[in-house]
Amino acid sequence: MEDKPLSRAQRLYIALGPLLFALVMALLPASLFELGARVAVGAVVWMGFWWITVPVSPAVTAFVPIVVNALFGVLPMGGVISNYFSEIVVLLLGAELLAIAWQATGFDRRLSLKVLCVIGPSATQQIVIWFVAAGGAFHGAAQAKRRAAGNLGKGGAQHWLEPAFPDCRRYGCGWDD
């Protein structure tokens, strides 16, 4: 994957994030807001601006509180960093890394085409199947530290999908390839 150079708008938005932070820090009266509150509001404005304009990856935007806290020392750093390693954040990081790898290798497109081949062009069938798949994923996640991945593996998917699409083998979208 090649990185594209940043556009003029992206560079402007990157610079505006910290400037908005500084502006909020300057405009909020110190008599009404102590330093920690001004820093927090400024960081929220900075992050909100970057989330809306997306000049950098949302993953980069998510690290703004660490940088701001390192500069201003509003909270103990251990408490801030520990929030980034909760189970859900590690799960989302793993999902993001998988998505990056899938996109880099083209697996995302191959998987999408295979799923469309199996499910077909019907929007109703696609919605039903994605709900079934999401239910399987939810069920797998609920089985903490068990063989959750097997629920959506080839056998699990075949078990759920084949009765709904009995002729998928005939069209070359079968489970044997």
Give tens-digit pLDDT for 74-85.
Answer: 888 888 888 777
In the prediction, which pLDDT does 156 show? Answer: 45
Cα 53 to the chain's mean position, in Å? 17
**50 and 20 Cβ atoms separated by less than 8 Å:** no
> In the predicted model, what is the mean pLDDT of residues 146-162?
45
User: Distance between CA 54 and CA 60 in Å, rounded?
Assistant: 10
CA atoms within 13 A on the CB side of 87: 3
Cα torsion for 71, 72, 77, 81, to the nearest 10°? -70
| Lowest-pLDDT choice from 55-59, 75-79, 133-137, 162-166 | 162-166
In the prediction, which pLDDT does 170 show? Answer: 52
Residue 154 has pLDDT above 60, yes or no: no
Q: For residue 103, what is the DSSP state?
A: H
Residue 167 has pLDDT above 80, yes or no: no
Q: Binning pLDDT at 50, 70 and 90, where does residue 134 land?
A: confident
Of 42-51, 53-62, 119-128, which has the strongest mean pLDDT? 42-51
> In the predicted model, what is the mean pLDDT of residues 140-147?
48
